[in-house]
Amino acid sequence: MLGPQGSPAAEVATEDDQALVTFPAAALAPRPGESSVKVRLTPLDPLALGTVPAGRRFDGNAYRIEATYAASAAPVVLTAPVTVVLRYPAHATLLLRAQDAGWQVLHTTRFDGSQQVLAPANDLGVFVAASPSARRGTPTAARRSLAGGFLLAAILTALAARWR
């Protein structure tokens, strides 16, 4: 609902809570003849959106977040930053926003326990969680875990032989 000062504070999320956007009070500008706004969060395949930034990999779905005035379908004018929150499946550390010439890294806060990244955004658009890509010669978590398992097995074997 829009009033003379704009919108009340609101939060819109996908049904599965994988993505959400929080609008602070008055973040959506009022517009003559408009009394409400439609907000859509659409999941997208991030690999279909363009090149992954160097040194990064996408971590989960991308989401197109758009808001339009209900009567005219015109894009909503933001008067304040919104907060975008995305869940990630593995190791995200960043939230990216698509731009004409690639991806903008947003000032990201990460919540490991709930596997979420969030960031303020001055514009709506397409967002995706991202993580650093594994570099050659750098052990990945899986390789470190496997090496640790082999080391533990060797220690247990040595202890069992000594015990006998």
Q: What is the domain count for the chain?
A: 2
**DSSP secondary structure letter of residue 78:** B
Output the pLDDT for position 50: 81
Q: Which long-range contacts (CB under 8 A, 24 or more apart) does 151-157 make?
A: none
Structure tokens at 163: 């015990």
Residues 128 and 163 in one domain: no
Residues 162 and 95 in one domain: no
Alpha-carbon distance of 60 to 43, in angstroms, equals: 10
Residue 112 counted as domain residue: yes
Average pLDDT in the chain: 84
Alpha-carbon distance of 119 to 147, in angstroms, equals: 36
pLDDT tens digit string along 139-155? 444 444 444 454 445 44
Residues 86 and 114 in one domain: yes
Residues 18 and 68 in one domain: yes
pLDDT tens digit string along 98-131? 988 789 999 999 998 899 999 999 999 999 999 9
**Residue 94: partners with Cβ closer than 8 Å, 6 or more residues away:** 56, 105, 106, 108, 117, 129, 130, 131
The enclosing domain of 108 has a CATH number of 2.60.220.30
Residue 70 counted as domain residue: yes
Residues 121 and 141 in one domain: no
Regarding pTM above 0.85, the answer is no
**What domain range is 129 assigned to?**
10-133
Residues 72 and 100 in one domain: yes
- Predicted confidence (pLDDT) at residue 10 exceeds the cutoff of 90: yes
